[in-house]
Amino acid sequence: MQKILVEGGHVLNGKVRISGAKNSAVALVPAAILADSRVTLEGLPNISDVYTLAQLLEEIGGSVSWDAGQTLHINPENMISMPLPNGKVKKLRASYYFMGAMLGKFKEAVIGLPGGCHLGPRPIDQHIKGFEALGAEVTNEQGAIYIRAKELIGARIYLDVVSVGATINIMLAAVKAKGRTVIENAAKEPEIIDVATLLTNMGAKIKGAGTDVIRIDGVPTLHGCRHTIIPNRIEAGTYIIAAAAAGKEVVIDNVIPQHLESLLAKLREMGVTIKESDDQLYVSPGKKLKSVDIKTLVYPGFPTDLQQPFTTLLTRAYDTGVVTDTIYSARLKHIDELRRMNATIKVEGGSAIVTGPVELEGAKVKASDLRAGAALVIAGLIANGITEITGLEHIDRGYENMTKKLTNLGAKIWRENMTEEEIRQFQNS
Ligand SMILES: CC(=O)N[C@H]1[C@@H](OP(=O)(O)OP(=O)(O)OC[C@H]2O[C@@H](n3ccc(=O)[nH]c3=O)[C@H](O)[C@@H]2O)O[C@H](CO)[C@@H](O)[C@@H]1O
Ligand SMILES: C=C(OP(=O)(O)O)C(=O)O
């Protein structure tokens, strides 16, 4: 087991290249199950979620091979319908996409309940509602979801909650169903468009991805293709926030600025200078940052996945900022750790009230989830002294080479093995 150490106070400067989007990658990889020949995915991020999904493909008989660590060839020809009740499916959230993809391909799926970040309750009732509407019978037997259909028939499905996972999962299950499926109140995240683009390249007929009504006309077969993933807007947002907190002049490369409008608007309100070009952003913090309030919303609103890193930035800003997460109201586990580092944050009525500016102090802290990890790394960059961060398995689920990318920007950040005593303490905490 390893920990990250950060020596605070080194100014970030230079250029950082953003990797492929995690939340696309984790759907594109299972989507390949639906094809009858080789799918090649280019620009995948080097993160543990992607590796775990590739291993799951192998468990069901697929063959996978990597070129240069970023291009994944998936041959689905020998895949078979096989239960995946436990094991790797618990390591990440997106294993739920094996439900839609295997249902679409084999008319059945047995998958354990997914893992992923602990952000409070994360039900999958809308996914199940969609599968049932398409004609599947769904049961939960000892923690695994059994999904079986004699045939899948297109249906009109209204999502009671706007859900990224349910929207993509229903698309995966519906692309080979008979007739037309309409998903109403669909999520509109860029990753949904990316998955629809892959499926369309495979021969699927999908209209409206990126709007709240998606129409899918089922086709009998899907073929292999080549697809290049979109850049990771959440990783980009994390480095933009790091640059606003600890930077001088930072260029974020391989980014689609339109995917980050809500974040950029808030940063400009705070006094951060941001210049946009085609696929780059230039970020330079003003002399004095001004606090703002943020409320997370579904896309194109402020993303919940940037709420925790943004909270760290507010410790640097003058006055009081209120952070409210309407997607995951319990996504607050980073707060206690930031307080250990001297942050002034009160939690009232489910919102975090951050008063700044304060000088953060290096401390030993634990990443309870992926974005808490990012929030603590940014805190370490601006804190006095050394910050030690454990819980790196969360960070590695979503950030490719974070220490290397930050080192290239001028940070003093490195990984070290934990001692046996530290591992014992970490496991008991
Ligand atoms: C792998 C992946 O893409 N993860 C992202 C995805 O997670 P995920 O797909 O799990 O998140 P959803 O968009 O489904 O969840 C949004 C909200 O809907 C609720 N809900 C969801 C499904 C359901 O069946 N019933 C229900 O009540 C959730 O509890 C949550 O409050 O979108 C989240 C919200 O942008 C992001 O934080 C995650 O990074
Ligand atoms: C919550 C996240 O991921 P997941 O849904 O994969 O747990 C995230 O990326 O911040």
In the chain, the number of structural domains is 2
* Whether residue 394 has its Cβ less than 6 Å from ligand 2: no
Residue 316 to residue 354: CA distance in whole angstroms: 10
Gap from CA of 370 to ligand 2 centroid (Å): 7
**Digit-coded pLDDT (tens) for 46-81:** 999 999 999 999 999 999 999 988 999 999 999 999
CA-CA distance, 324 to 309, in Å (whole number)? 13
Tokens of 45: 């991020």
Parallel/antiparallel/unpaired status of strands 280-284 and 294-296: unpaired
| Spatial distance between the Cα atoms of 26 and 39, rounded to a whole number of angstroms | 14
Q: Which residue in the list 47, 117, 241, 260 is annotated as catalytic? A: 117
Domain that holds residue 369: 2-12+288-428
Q: List the residue whose alpha carbon is closest to atom 10 of ligand 2.
A: 305
Cβ atoms 367, 389 nearer than 8 A: yes
Beta strands in 326-400 (DSSP E): 344-348, 351-356, 364-366, 386-390
Mean pLDDT, residues 210-235: 98
3-class SS of residue 249: strand
pLDDT at 429 over 80: no
374 located within any domain:
yes
6/43 same-domain check: no
- Answer whether residue 252 is part of any domain: no
Ligand nearest to the CA of 97: 1
Nearest CA to ligand 2 atom 8: 305
Say yes or no: 330 and 194 in one domain. Answer: no
- The answer, yes or no, to whether residue 116 has pLDDT greater than 90, is no
Q: How far is residue 390's CA from residue 5's CA, in Å, rounded to a whole number? A: 9
Ligand 1 atom with minimal separation from the 298 CA:
35
148 annotated binding-site participant? no
Reported as a pLDDT band with limits 50, 70 and 90, residue 339 is very high
**Residue 287: pLDDT over 80:** yes
Mind listing the pLDDT tens digit for each residue in 134-160? 999 999 998 899 999 999 999 999 999
Mean pLDDT (the chain) is 96
Ligand 2, atom nearest to 92 Cα? 6
Nearest residue CA, atom 6 of ligand 2? Answer: 93
> Which string of DSSP letters, residue by residue, matches 403-424?
HHHHHHTT-EEEEEEPPHHHHH
Do 376 and 336 form a contact (C-beta atoms < 8 A)? no
Query: Known catalytic residue: 117?
Result: yes
Q: How far is CA 73 from CA 41, 44, 312, in A?
A: 6, 11, 39
Q: Which ligand 1 atom sits closest to the C-alpha of 305?
A: 37
Q: Does residue 125 have a known ligand-binding role?
A: yes
- 224 and 112 within one domain: yes
State how far the Cα of 283 lies from the Cα of 15, in Å rounded to an integer: 10
In a domain, 254, yes or no: no
Strand partners, 295: 324
Identify each DSSP E strand in 277-385 by its residue range.
280-284, 294-296, 319-325, 344-348, 351-356, 364-366
Task: Say how far apart CA 45 and CA 173 lie, in whole Å.
Answer: 25
Residue 275 within a domain: no
CATH code for the domain in which residue 155 is found: 3.65.10.10
Together in a domain, 41 and 173: yes
- 28 with 153, same domain: the answer is yes
- pLDDT digits 0-9 by tens, 387-425: 999 999 999 999 999 999 999 999 999 999 988 888 888
Q: What is the Cα–Cα distance from 39 to 403, expressed in whole angstroms?
A: 31
Look up tokens 């093995």; give the residue.
Answer: 417
Coil vs helix vs strand at 34: helix
Q: What percent of the chain has pLDDT over 70?
A: 100
Q: pLDDT, tens digit, for every residue of 100-112?
A: 999 999 999 999 9
Helix (H) or strand (E) holding 40: strand 39-42
